[in-house]
Amino acid sequence: MKKFDIPTFYRSSFISQIKNSRKITDPRKKDFTPTTIDFGEVQFLIARHFGFCYGVENAIEIAYKAVEENPNKTIYLLSQMIHNPAVNNDLRSKGIKFIMDTQGNQFIPWKEIKSEDIVIIPAFGTTLETMKILEEKGIEIKKYDTTCPFVTKVWKQSDKLGSKGYSVIIHGKPRHEETRATFSHSTNSASSVVVRDMKESLILGEIILGERPLSDFKEYFGEQCSEGFDPEKDLQKVGVVNQTTMLASETQGIADYFRNVMIKKYGSDNIEDHFADTRDTLCYATNDNQQATYGLLEEEADLAIVVGGFNSSNTSHLVELCEQKLPTYFISSEEEIVSDKLIRHFDYHRKIMLNTKDFLGEKRPLRIILTSGASCPDAVVDRVLDKLLSFFNPLRSKEEILAEMEG
């Protein structure tokens, strides 16, 4: 896989070496068991796969090149490069201005952006409507388009479905940048509707089967479907794609559900005429991160620390998996670990910060699961580990542990 030129301060002196050692011993990722780092009083279970993915490293490399290559120009980002505050704040410090927030609300009016300016398209991609605005302004967009190739793969799959007369069901969060971008591209060639989860999928399935009136479609999906969507006509042939960062098992469950709905309505002999059996469009990194989390959860542990941006979809799903088994704390950096007696962490269900006292408990040795989302730098995970380690009396240094692993 391509090696990217990203700032060295995003890499780490410890976590990155652990990841590299696993790549050497397991290059094909057949083993998703975690790496256990034993410091005596505390043991860390490090996920087999986590942190920066191909799409994120590609986006960061392009963004820093844009700054380097255009010292006298105004440089804009459409919105957050990735869902990580450390990365976005560093780009701001380089003078990059953000045009809009993650919800699409405008910070900088289009009229202020000139043809000679540089506009970076983030890893999530953007809508066709925004692309048209940039093109009409005469802005060069291809050179600094950091759209993840796995996102464009979903767009191509949607086009393929549309060309064969299928409507596209997108499993995603309707307001997420990537889902908005995918929806825009999908509607260019196919009738499209977004379902957030299995609950909404069940409602849509009942409409297809006639178990709910067609009028329910507008009530539940009126703001999540393409213009002119006709549920009576457009739900006769469907295919499922996803926002690449969704929970893989849920996307597969939704696809299986709609396949069964179509079998129930049209019979198994005619299923290919009504359901497109698309391959899962989840990106490899999201899938690997989730598989590595399942590997973590097969081990005995006392608590989990998941590091990443609070608006990161793929990170929230890692939290969702961990919290089903043990106390889980979602943090964006080591700064939320206030002391050995207090941690501030994000409740992604209610979108609020919580304070939890005595989160480390009294059990020794304490076993801590540690992982992060695809947009979190290894250096941040390093600092989280160091902060936690400072509350204990380690029997070995990190250098000794790395030497043992290399030996």
Task: Examine the residue annotation and report whether 335 is marked as an active-site residue of this protein.
Answer: no
Strand 238-242 and strand 97-98: the pairing is: unpaired
Q: 57 vs 47, 52, 148, CA distance in Å?
A: 19, 6, 10
For tokens 């620390």, what's the residue?
Answer: 305
Taking alpha carbons only, the member of 34, 28, 37, 36 closest to residue 49 is 34
CB atoms within 10 A of CB 274: 21
Among the listed residues 178, 200, 334, 336, the single catalytic one is 178
Measured between alpha carbons, how far is 40 from 365 in angstroms, rounded to an integer? Answer: 6
Measured between alpha carbons, how far is 310 from 74 in angstroms, rounded to an integer? Answer: 29
Residue 370 pairs with which residues in a beta bridge?
46, 305
Spatial CB neighbours of 272, under 8 Å, sequence gap ≥ 6: none
Measured between alpha carbons, how far is 70 from 197 in angstroms, rounded to an integer? Answer: 43
Label each residue of 94-157 as H, E or C.
CCCEECECCCCCECCCHHHCCCCCEEEECCCCCCHHHHHHHHHCCCCCCCCECCCHHHHHHHHH
DSSP secondary structure letter of residue 209: T
Q: 156 vs 175, 193, 221, 225, 311, CA distance in Å?
A: 21, 17, 24, 19, 26
Burial of 55 (0-12, 13-18, 19+ CB in 10 A): buried
Active site residues: 178
